[in-house]
Homo-oligomer: A and B are copies of this chain.
Amino acid sequence: MDDPRWLTPQQQRAWRAHLTAHRLLMHQLDRELQDTGLSINDYEILVNLSESSEKRMRMSDLADATVQSRSRLSHQISRMESAGLVARENCEDDRRGTYAVLTAQGWETIAKVAPDHVASVRRHFIDRLTPGQVKEIEEIYAPIVAHLQGKQP
């Protein structure tokens, strides 16, 4: 077997900066959402539903969009259902299809919470970057997304 190609110090610093920044950022965003009763994961489910046509998504599509397993999503949707934010609906045409649907309360919640959350994303991330860096992030990560989406089962 060939010698492992360890990361160079520069590559390692970049990889760790990415990892640590991401985690600290999620942690901070989650903390700033705390008073709303939503987690960052709840928030993202609500955003996805609110942006989809008829405010509903098939569970499997929602799992893909939020990059999590069906079973983990199912638990989360159950909690959000108890909180009145979403409802589950079966699709008549398709026995396999269950939809997650945004409720009126879910819609009101996301409308109320979004401005503060976007302010958090700006304060801790976007407004700390130059316009060139914002562009660079898209140019770096969008091809990684395309590569990895091709690997999804």
List which A14-49 residues lie within 8 A (CB) of chain B. 14-15, 17-18, 20-25, 27-28
| B133–A140 CB distance below 8 A | yes
Contacts of A18 in B (CB 8 A): 22, 137, 141
| A114–B4 CB distance below 8 A | yes
Asked if A147 is at the interface of the complex by the 8 Å CB criterion, the answer is yes
| A17–B145 CB distance below 8 A | yes
| B141–A128 CB distance below 8 A | no
| B135–A14 CB distance below 8 A | yes
| B149–A7 CB distance below 8 A | no
| A125–B15 CB distance below 8 A | yes
Least CB distance from A44 to B in Å reads 8
Asked if A138 is at the interface of the complex by the 8 Å CB criterion, the answer is yes
Interface residues of A (CB under 8 A from B): 1, 4-7, 10-11, 13-15, 17-18, 20-25, 27-28, 66-68, 114-115, 118-119, 121-122, 124-126, 128-129, 131, 133-145, 147-149, 151-152
Sample 16 A-B pairs with CB under 8 A, ordered by A number.
Answer: A10-B131, A10-B138, A14-B135, A14-B137, A17-B137, A17-B141, A17-B142, A17-B144, A18-B141, A20-B67, A21-B141, A24-B148, A124-B148, A125-B144, A128-B143, A136-B140
